[in-house]
Structure 1
Amino acid sequence: MGKTKKLIELDDKAIEILEKQAKLEKRSLKNYIEYTLEEQAVRFSEPSEAYKAMMDDMIDRDENGTLKTHSWEAIKAQYGR
């Protein structure tokens, strides 16, 4: 797979935060930003096998009438909101 260079501009505060995170992971800022963006791109590309299996199970249970759902209002009431 090829590589493409892009010039990005980030707020000074964002750079400061990212530098701290990079140091915690013993990475350079550049490496940390590249790694983080590549990981995020992978998450956007396709759902994981575990997620697909979970969704297939939920669809099956919905079609069989065994899926239990709760309204948002019921959930808020249960947790005192």
Structure 2
Amino acid sequence: MGKTKKLIELDDEAIKILETQAKLQKRSLKNYIEFMLEDRALHFAEPSEEYKTMMDDMLQRQKDGTLETIPYSEIRKKYGF
């Protein structure tokens, strides 16, 4: 995947907030902004074909009554929550 440079303008207060968050994550401001934008962009991306196939299979098993699930209460007991 290639990379493209873009010039962005943010108000001073936004920069201060982002600088604080970057320091908390031990990142440079530039790296933090790039990370946040790329992470957010992935939320808009189309799911992979593998994921779609897996979900279609799970939905079909649920429809057929063959999907096995574990109640949340049992998971809590098992892991001590």
TM-score (norm. length: structure 1): 0.59
Q: CA RMSD in A?
A: 3.2
Among all aligned residue pairs of Structure 1 and Structure 2, give the percentage whose two residues are the same amino acid: 67
SS in 1 for 2:44: helix
Task: State the Cα deviation string for residues 2-41 of structure 1 (Å, max 9, x = none).
Answer: 1100000000000000000000000000000000000111
TM-score (norm. length: structure 2): 0.59
Aligned pairs for 1:1-80 (under 5 A) are 1-47=1-47, 49=51, 53=55, 57=59
Q: How many residues align?
A: 62
Following TM superposition, the consecutive aligned residue runs of length 4 or more in structure 1 with deviations greater than 4 angstroms are none
Which stretches in structure 2 are left out of the alignment for 5+ residues?
Answer: 64-81
SS in 1 for 2:27: coil
Matched residues in 1 for 2:42 and 2:30: separation? 18
Which stretches in structure 1 are left out of the alignment for 5+ residues?
Answer: 62-81
